[in-house]
Structure 1
């Protein structure tokens, strides 16, 4: 397939006002903090996970990743893949302290910081406090300060919007910097597999391939009406992203009403076979909740049946969960309140936190220019 690339036709490049966005992602954050603080772990495979046969991996050092160990992998599988790995229990108090130190570095450059979790954030540096001439210079300085002051590494992506910056930060991991200039957007995007689009998971990617969509360029050639017929309201978002369009601003101090994570199974499964996924989602939600300045008192379990019927079970607690194990236990207990018979199959499961309550006042941890001007 050949798609003409025209800078003048690119909505990103032709916009009168372009943002300068930096996405910073700490490299193997939890595992890197453990290696930094314990010299005996440096250069060795490290897996951060709670103890227990049914635990899943929270983070893996790059030494462990060479053996195929990844976040969300069952801990037993990680142990089988990398028997020599050192398993370390997560220490979120320490991780939050480091995250705050990273945030302090960010604040030297801009107040427009949108944390996504403890280890990553978006920064709008269209105007930066240091008066550096380009966003690239800002990203370089931030990475240098993190390395020199915290003895950790971070990868960064620089682009005209959040969508592109997120992709860019992953491009040269670990310890890398990648810049997408406005005039390079189409030539960069079109060859990418659709799975590189944030939010396109395995299920959506499979649906796309079933209708002949393998690359962003394939998406680019389709009319909006065609995409909406295949993907509903998400079709508009895909239409825009294929053209490098993302108008979402960096929102500092975003107040979360809820935090959740969900997954669709490749094949429908009975309720009894959802435990591992619930544990994985609970750990994912727990990690995300630690980038929030408030605490949630309500735990929610969401399920969708094979017939696409949705149901939820929730529990509001006197006080917020104090550990991932507690959150996981509550989510699994909520599953016991689902009475639909052993033959009922489910296609989706989700875990969430809601009913956020204001905590003591404390700083939240992590996580337009002329188009010819360089980022």
Structure 2
């Protein structure tokens, strides 16, 4: 059946016995609530304007023409085609358009106040703040206080709109995954959606391409396609052992997610277990000089290595991705190399990234860079020879730099490249959540 979308007749045939899979699955009342156009809605409230009527865009930095649009109100999208991810230079000069830089402290305060409002309906341990504008809430057991969970969710939405003038969307499901899928694939269009396990064949299995499914990226999609799996329904009918052999523990997770099953307790990551550490960065201008690009790569290697060290992990596969400027007709490369011994050493990671860069860089202006390390192991597996004095020194240096940054801030100690014109670490250290405070 792989490679062909399941028909309704197939659903009945394949699910009659298969629904036994849900006998031990969690069946709670979880909602995932998302504040629509949160940054734009916050600025609209501050300026006393209606985000559903006025074209609004929140832009990272007015001083950078290539700055990214962080949020856009519905009229901005409908009338001018400007959406999240657009660039400042793409916004037309029009008297109706209202542009704002982000007020991150205000956004954080608003997010906390919204969480406090939700806390009036459920205890704090029933709330998991997923991001500044999105939270999971467990409404299980609140029926005696507030009535059916669906009604409680709508009361919470109405309360947020009335008190903060911020519209929201809610997805509900028996677990965090289903609530998130109901939100992303349904509720963001309608304002509210509830998915049950019975909805999985109709609403989930038809999803294609696979990257439309939460938690499946382009690379995983390509690997699944190569196995003849093109829809979530194909994935649900795939052989579990084959998936585990190919993807490891992630294969087990992919299979059960295709059935809408998620065993994560509230607050646990939807994808259990850290399988990689990575960082991506959209550059504020085209980087045309090799040394400038390598300077940013080194800074990013530092960030990735630090996160791995803090988690006590080391990786053997190092991946470098580089996208060229649209002015140079786009394109780019994404290449990985696996080394013999796991590492979380900044300079070792950079050495591999530099090799990949030298081998694949096409002498075109760069606009986006990504770096990751995967195939993780405990850093205890790193062999430290008593006679390898340089390795001991590098490890101690890394630990010292991590300590200073944790205690005094991420810009407390930087490599020399960060003080060059190409460096981005100092500017990023002055941001909150990637944006100006």
- For normalisation by structure 2, the TM-score amounts to 0.59
Residue 33 of structure 2 corresponds to which residue in structure 1?
Answer: 24
Q: How does 1:97-246 map to 2 (within 5 A)?
A: 97-111=109-123, 112-128=126-142, 131-170=145-184, 171-173=186-188, 176-193=191-208, 194-246=210-262
Q: Whose radius of gyration is greater, 1 or 2?
A: 2
Residue 308 (str. 1) matches residue 337 (str. 2) = yes
Q: Distance in 1 between matches of 2:279 and 2:67?
A: 18
Q: Distance in 2 between matches of 1:344 and 1:84?
A: 49
- For normalisation by structure 1, the TM-score amounts to 0.68
Task: State the structure with bigger RCO (CA 8 A, min sep 6), 1 or 2.
Answer: 1
3-state SS, counterpart of residue 72 of structure 1 = coil
* 8 A contact 1:157–1:178 mirrored in 2: yes
* 8 A contact 2:319–2:353 mirrored in 1: no
Residue 91 of structure 1 corresponds to which residue in structure 2?
Answer: 103
CA RMSD across the alignment? 4.4
Residue 379 of structure 2 corresponds to which residue in structure 1?
Answer: none
Residue 9 (str. 1) matches residue 21 (str. 2) = no
| Number of aligned positions between the proteins | 311
Q: Distance in 2 between matches of 1:46 and 1:338?
A: 40
* 8 A contact 1:34–1:41 mirrored in 2: no
Q: Which runs of 5+ in 1 are unaligned?
A: 286-295, 297-301, 316-333, 360-375
Once the two structures are overlaid, the 10-residue window that deviates more, 25-34 or 209-218, is 209-218
3-state SS, counterpart of residue 121 of structure 1 = strand
After superposition, the Cα gap between the structure-2 partners of 1:47 and 1:337, relative to the gap in structure 1 and judged at 3 Å, is: farther
Q: CA-to-partner distance for each residue in 1:250-283, whole Å, 9 max, x for gaps?
A: 129xxxx9x9764699xxx9995997xx89xx9x
Q: Distance in 1 between matches of 2:237 and 2:77?
A: 36
Q: Which runs of 5+ in 2 are unaligned?
A: 1-5, 269-273, 304-309, 311-316, 321-334, 362-367, 374-401, 409-437
Residue 251 of structure 1 corresponds to which residue in structure 2?
Answer: 267
Residue 397 of structure 2 corresponds to which residue in structure 1?
Answer: none
Q: Distance in 2 between matches of 1:188 and 1:312?
A: 42
3-state SS, counterpart of residue 144 of structure 1 = helix
* Greater fraction of residues in helix: 2
* 8 A contact 2:318–2:337 mirrored in 1: no
Match of 2:83 among 56, 70, 74: 70
Q: Distance in 2 between matches of 1:248 and 1:16?
A: 11
Q: How far did 1:308 drift?
A: 2.3
After superposition, the Cα gap between the structure-2 partners of 1:250 and 1:341, relative to the gap in structure 1 and judged at 3 Å, is: closer
Q: How far did 1:63 drift?
A: 2.2
